[in-house]
Chains A and B, each alone.
Chain A
Amino acid sequence: MKAIRSMLFVLIALVMLVSVVGCQPKQPTGPATIRVLTMEQAGPTVDEMNSIVAEFNKANPDIKVEIEYVAYDALHDKITTAMASNPPAYDVFLGDDIWYAEFAKSGYALDVTDRISKDMHDKIFPAAWDITTVSSKVYGMPWLLDEKYFFYNEELLKQAGFDAPPSTWEELLAQSKVLKDQGVVEYPMVWSWGQYEAAICDWVILLYGNGGSLVDDKGAPAFNSPVGIKTLSWMVQTIDDGYTNPASISYVEEDVRNVFSQGNAAFAVNWTYMYDLVNFNDKESKVTGKIKMALMPGFEGSGAQSASINGSMGFSVAATSPNPDAAWKYIEFLTSESIQNQYSAHLLPMWGTSYDGENLTKLEAYTPANAVTVPMFNEQFPFAHVRPKVAYYPEASKALQLALQEALTKQKTPEQALNDAAAKWVDLAK
């Protein structure tokens, strides 16, 4: 009997010990470790991010930086899941501008309004501050100031007898017809219309380029307007006519880049990063040196000369991080003007001063890509549109993605699909 009792006692003690040890929060000892969650998609490469950390460690040897990369489409869910634990799994995370309303409401991102110096405030573009600012409070440093651009394969266009890129979507269809009829390329256009956020970005470009908008002045859905329906019908028609690669319905940006890099499309819409990879990386591109950028077309008679999508992102400190100061130090370094100027091949600086006088000349000379992307940024950015800043954006976006897909796969008419999505948006706003 005694044996059993002592056995039980040992067992219970063991279980208690295990649970006590397991629940002990990790005490920060020695050098602070900053865990960073970011994405490997648009923006700097992993090598570039690592060499930035190496430079940071020269000045801050006591802060260890561990970076974890995920795909853009996993980023939001990973952040919100990580924030459910205390301390959170990450001290620093990369947030998209469409999530900041949610991050502000949920309290996930640290309010850093007081950490922004006047110098930072004045020198960084106001449009960049808009990314991380919600109700005049700042929840992070703007970082990836990006928008989608119009790319064309100059060689393919020349083969079809065109010297200049199209300036309207109508002109693009006319060129596409010739490209297709002459057998230069089977599908002149490739898009990222898969059931992802990427589809919303492409849709915003076409919708605003047709004089439409996602929401009206009061924030109510306006995308199911006659213009919205006409624009979505246009998308469906380009697939039916064989001008848009039909696989676009399943594609994201990387698929667009791969198809375009193989010379299997004459026109594409993508973020800044594609310009460098498609023109200067002969390991991944068969069309190096042949790709040009032009102002995004608009629709004739719509009153919109051009339209693009503002896809900017920012870095935030997790509100419950045990090392907010070290985390902020890293963010400040990563987003500093000198680092941004130095690593600008896949990411343009959001510092206004980087584009002034001598700085601009330097910036354009940093990489061969910059000579083109920097002036193009200045030309296109005034036409970039933001998506609504609402806390329920992920759900609203999914509803709109579904509507676009239902129309593209002909499950519903464009009108029906957009009306259903608009009704969902109204529901969500309640």
Chain B
Amino acid sequence: MQRKRTLAQQDMLVGFALILPSFLIILGISLQPILSTLYLSLFEVPRGINLQNTFVGLGNYISLLSEPIFWATIGRTFYFTVISVGIELVLGLAIAQLIHAHPPGWQFLRTSLIIPWAVPTIVNGTMWRWIYNADYGALNGLLFQLGLIDKYIPWLTRPDMAMNLVILADIWHSVPFIALILQAALATLPPDLEEAASVDGATAIQYFWFIRLPLLRPAILVALIIRTVEAFRAFDLIYVITNGGPANGTVTISFLTYLEMFSFGHAGRGSALSFLISLFTLTLAFIYIRMLYRPEEKQ
């Protein structure tokens, strides 16, 4: 007996068949690792060949959350994220508007803007480590020749200063990304809005604040999601420029995870940390996406 399928059922089947490949890929490269990390985080995993894992339940999470180093690390991670993404957004928006105003040579500006962003982070980190070198780095050389300092400054030897300098390196690397996204968004705004606003007597500031910024909101949110998640997981710059020093002053959550997982061989604790990072970034993405889609809901 031949079963009959309705048209809707057939459509659904085709739909499933079509999403199957991407579903398998997502399963393989994203869901499976997250789930196995979660699984591993419930065990104490000894380092070695043919060793048995011991189930510890939430033991890894409890011990991590009770350690002051964890909370100090979380604090530094938030500081890094908020300061770097905040400055990047303001600078990125300013540069995007500058390019959008099409000053002479704006195309050159736009192209050269890509360079810092195109440099791999590890190369970027190595470059800044050299720039910050106290004895033969470019930063001291430049400031000294400009007469701004009369003595070389030992950068990277105070925890707070080292953190801010790593943030500076991150800003240099990531501002172009935000600027390019926002510049592309600006280019799609209808030009007649500006004319209409000026006819209605709006000042430049009013136009920017009440018309341009709200229209840019989706693009800003996209840039923010990507950059916040990236900054929260920052590792390579820190690894190369300071190795977490001085005095753990630049140890962020990803660096701590790396130490636990790879240097100390605590795969269980490392997995717990990784899972906490995933959880946090997922929450963050969720909040951003809710914010992003709110205007459509109102309509």
Whether a CB of chain B sits under 8 angstroms from the CB of A237 is no
| Contact (Cβ within 8 A) B244 A245 | no
In-complex Cβ contact of B262 among A80, A107, A108 (8 A): A80
Decide yes or no: A107 and B49 within 8 Å by CB, A250-B154, A398-B263 being known contacts.
Answer: yes
Query: Does more than half of chain B's interface fall in helix, strand or loop, or is it mixed?
Result: loop
Whether a CB of chain B sits under 8 angstroms from the CB of A219 is no
| Residues of B with C-beta under 8 A to A246 | 134, 154, 157
| Residues of A with C-beta under 8 A to B49 | 83, 106-108, 319-320
| Contact (Cβ within 8 A) A262 B135 | yes
Min CB distance A89 to B, Å, is 14
| Residues of A with C-beta under 8 A to B183 | none
8 Å CB interface, B240-278 against A = 242-249, 258-259, 262-265
Whether a CB of chain B sits under 8 angstroms from the CB of A408 is yes
Give the distance in Å from the alpha carbon of A1 to the alpha carbon of B21 in the complex: 19
8 Å CB interface, B32-62 against A = 46-51
Decide yes or no: A194 and B243 within 8 Å by CB, A1-B10, A246-B154, A259-B135 being known contacts.
Answer: yes
Give the distance in Å from the alpha carbon of A46 to the alpha carbon of B248 in the complex: 33
Whether a CB of chain B sits under 8 angstroms from the CB of A402 is yes
Whether a CB of chain A sits under 8 angstroms from the CB of B298 is no
Whether a CB of chain B sits under 8 angstroms from the CB of A137 is no
| Contact (Cβ within 8 A) B154 A195 | no
| Contact (Cβ within 8 A) A76 B156 | no
Give the distance in Å from the alpha carbon of A80 to the alpha carbon of B261 in the complex: 10
| Residues of A with C-beta under 8 A to B262 | 77, 80-81
**Chain A, residue nearest B129 (CB):** A250
**Chain A, residue nearest B137 (CB):** A247
Give the distance in Å from the alpha carbon of A409 to the alpha carbon of B159 in the complex: 8
Min CB distance B264 to A, Å, is 4
Give the distance in Å from the alpha carbon of A21 to the alpha carbon of B47 in the complex: 29
Looking at the complex, which of A3-11, A58-66, A331-339 is the stretch in contact with chain B?
A: A3-11
| Contact (Cβ within 8 A) A194 B245 | yes
| Residues of A with C-beta under 8 A to B13 | 4
Whether a CB of chain B sits under 8 angstroms from the CB of A394 is yes
Whether a CB of chain A sits under 8 angstroms from the CB of B14 is yes
8 Å CB interface, B191-223 against A = none
| Contact (Cβ within 8 A) A409 B134 | no
- Pick the most buried of B47, B133, B158: most chain A CB atoms within 10 A of its CB: B47
Decide yes or no: A195 and B133 within 8 Å by CB, A11-B20, A11-B21 being known contacts.
Answer: no
Min CB distance A188 to B, Å, is 14
In-complex Cβ contact of B48 among A1, A15, A105 (8 A): A105
8 Å CB interface, B1-26 against A = 5, 10, 13-14, 17, 20-21, 24
| Contact (Cβ within 8 A) A398 B17 | no
| Contact (Cβ within 8 A) A250 B245 | yes
8 Å CB interface, A386-429 against B = 392, 394-395, 398, 401-402, 405-406, 408-409, 411
Min CB distance A110 to B, Å, is 11
| Contact (Cβ within 8 A) A406 B247 | yes
Whether a CB of chain B sits under 8 angstroms from the CB of A130 is no
Whether a CB of chain A sits under 8 angstroms from the CB of B136 is yes
Interface residues on B, range: 35 or more
| Contact (Cβ within 8 A) B265 A80 | yes
In-complex Cβ contact of B246 among A76, A195, A255, A264 (8 A): A195
| Residues of B with C-beta under 8 A to A196 | 243, 245
| Contact (Cβ within 8 A) B243 A195 | yes
**Chain A, residue nearest B50 (CB):** A107
Give the distance in Å from the alpha carbon of A217 to the alpha carbon of B3 in the complex: 83
Give the distance in Å from the alpha carbon of A402 to the alpha carbon of B263 in the complex: 15
Decide yes or no: A249 and B21 within 8 Å by CB, A4-B13, A107-B49, A258-B136 being known contacts.
Answer: no
| Residues of B with C-beta under 8 A to A395 | 263-264
| Contact (Cβ within 8 A) B245 A247 | no
Give the distance in Å from the alpha carbon of A127 to the alpha carbon of B49 in the complex: 29
| Contact (Cβ within 8 A) A408 B135 | no
Min CB distance B154 to A, Å, is 4
| Contact (Cβ within 8 A) A405 B248 | yes
In-complex Cβ contact of B263 among A7, A15, A77, A83 (8 A): A77
Give the distance in Å from the alpha carbon of A319 to the alpha carbon of B134 in the complex: 43
Decide yes or no: A408 and B246 within 8 Å by CB, A11-B20, A250-B156, A264-B135 being known contacts.
Answer: yes
In-complex Cβ contact of A195 among B5, B50, B242, B263 (8 A): B242
**Chain A, residue nearest B132 (CB):** A250
In-complex Cβ contact of A107 among B10, B48, B156, B243 (8 A): B48
Whether a CB of chain B sits under 8 angstroms from the CB of A102 is yes
| Residues of A with C-beta under 8 A to B244 | 195
Give the distance in Å from the alpha carbon of A105 to the alpha carbon of B24 in the complex: 39
Whether a CB of chain B sits under 8 angstroms from the CB of A122 is no
| Contact (Cβ within 8 A) B47 A102 | yes
Contact with B along A184-198 (1 / 0, CB 8 A): 000000000011100
| Residues of B with C-beta under 8 A to A8 | 17, 20
| Residues of B with C-beta under 8 A to A392 | 264
Decide yes or no: A247 and B157 within 8 Å by CB, A15-B24, A106-B48 being known contacts.
Answer: yes
| Residues of A with C-beta under 8 A to B24 | 15
Decide yes or no: A245 and B17 within 8 Å by CB, A73-B243, A105-B48 being known contacts.
Answer: no
Give the distance in Å from the alpha carbon of A113 to the alpha carbon of B47 in the complex: 23
8 Å CB interface, A220-255 against B = 245-247, 249-250, 255
| Contact (Cβ within 8 A) A249 B159 | no
| Residues of A with C-beta under 8 A to B159 | 409, 411
Contact with A along B119-155 (1 / 0, CB 8 A): 0000000000000011110000000000000000011
| Residues of B with C-beta under 8 A to A402 | 247-248
- B residues touching A (Cβ–Cβ < 8 Å)? 5, 10, 13-14, 17, 20-21, 24, 46-51, 133-136, 154-159, 162, 242-249, 258-259, 262-265
Q: List 7 A-B contacts (CB under 8 A).
A: A73-B243, A80-B47, A106-B51, A107-B50, A247-B155, A405-B248, A406-B247
Q: What would 19 more interface pairs be, CB under 8 Å, given A102-B47, A250-B134, A405-B248?
A: A4-B10, A4-B14, A4-B17, A11-B20, A15-B24, A106-B265, A107-B49, A107-B50, A108-B48, A195-B242, A195-B244, A247-B155, A249-B156, A250-B245, A255-B133, A259-B135, A398-B263, A405-B247, A406-B247
When A and B form their complex, which 4 residue pairs have the shortest distance between CB atoms, in order from nearest? A195-B245, A247-B134, A106-B48, A405-B247
